[in-house]
Structure 1
Amino acid sequence: MTDNLNSQYDCASAGEDLHQLQEQLNALHNEQGAATSKEQSDLINRLENQIQFIKNKCDIRP
């Protein structure tokens, strides 16, 4: 899935992958509350980077 994003990413999977990544990101934002651990912060950054990579690679605009 999205654990190994690279230049050969198949954009046919973008819709489903973006949906799953966004759900994971939203869940993290909802559960973090006021305090964010280093691990949570790193995971949030990774998810945001993956979302941006897919959007850029597949030319998906908001």
Structure 2
Amino acid sequence: MAALSFSASVAQWADKVEGAVEAIFKEATHEVVEEMQKPIDSTPAAPMLSASCRRSWTHRAIA
């Protein structure tokens, strides 16, 4: 028997185990949300740029 690809192995396992598809979906969703909550730019200049943008926006809103 030929070795299955990883995705084929997971699909075969999910077919056998009740609730597996839902568990995989929930875990994948959780991981995506965690990634989306991370800062996009972690360089030292990022906070300064962010503050500059906020200051610029505030001045426009007041004017």
Which one scores higher on RCO, CA 8 angstroms, separation ≥ 6?
Answer: 1
TM-score (normalised: structure 1): 0.37
- TM-score computed with the length of structure 2 as normaliser: 0.37
Structure ID, larger Rg: 2
